[in-house]
Amino acid sequence: MNGFIIPCRGYTPQLGNDCWIAPNATLVGDLICGDQCSFWFNAVVRGDVNSIRMGNKVNIQDGAVIHCTYEKAATTIGNNVSIGHNALVHGCTIHDNVLIGMGAIVMDNCIIEEGSIIAAGAIVTEGTHVKAGSLYAGIPAKFKKEVDEALRKGEIERIANNYVKYSGWFK
């Protein structure tokens, strides 16, 4: 394993099987993730002020930041989730099979239900509840349409599976 794995406040990041960490990714504190997760170049996952829990096959792409709010908002990420390049995910809950687009921001106390897509550059404001199978876009992010099967397979599933493959190139 590469990357910077930094204990904080008595917690050391715990990783599942077959995970990959880029040499300059940083994982801090109270982080527990499942199997086949990947943390890409310049990604930062900071479990210093609260807990971060991630399922299996989660990819945190280049420059993305995962954080939380002290004593208020932990971060939970389900299975088969892709967090796009330079996205910010902060103190929220993301269910299974979700795509957070490049440069998107998801704020405290948001819930992103299963099978949803947050478009690139979207800002999901604090406390927003994205219903299952929804595509949200814009600033602030609003419902645009339902995620159909083609979009789900063509984007959400494809990207999650590809990042497992890509990480294998570095192992």
Confirm whether 11 is domain-assigned: yes
pLDDT for 2 equals: 80
**Mean pLDDT, residues 41-68:** 98
**Mean pLDDT, residues 29-43:** 98
pLDDT at residue 71 above 70?
yes
Mean pLDDT, the chain, integer: 97
**Mean pLDDT, residues 34-39:** 98
pLDDT at residue 1 above 80?
no
CATH code for the domain of 9 = 2.160.10.10
**Mean pLDDT, residues 131-159:** 97
Confirm whether 102 is domain-assigned: yes
> Tokens at residue 87, please?
């996205």
Strand partners, 94: 77, 112
Confirm whether 161 is domain-assigned: no
pLDDT at residue 81 above 80?
yes
Whole-structure pTM value: 0.97
Confirm whether 163 is domain-assigned: no
Beta strands in 22-141 (DSSP E): 26-33, 38-39, 44-54, 59-60, 65-67, 75-77, 82-83, 88-90, 93-94, 99-100, 105-106, 111-112, 117-118, 123-124, 129-130, 134-137
Confirm whether 35 is domain-assigned: yes
pLDDT at residue 84 above 70?
yes
Confirm whether 159 is domain-assigned: no
pLDDT for 40 equals: 98
Confirm whether 87 is domain-assigned: yes
DSSP three-state, residue 159: helix
As for how many domains the chain has, the answer is 1
Confirm whether 74 is domain-assigned: yes
d(CA 54, CA 142): 25
Q: Are 29 and 50 in contact (CB under 8 A)?
A: no
Residue 108: which domain range?
Answer: 4-153
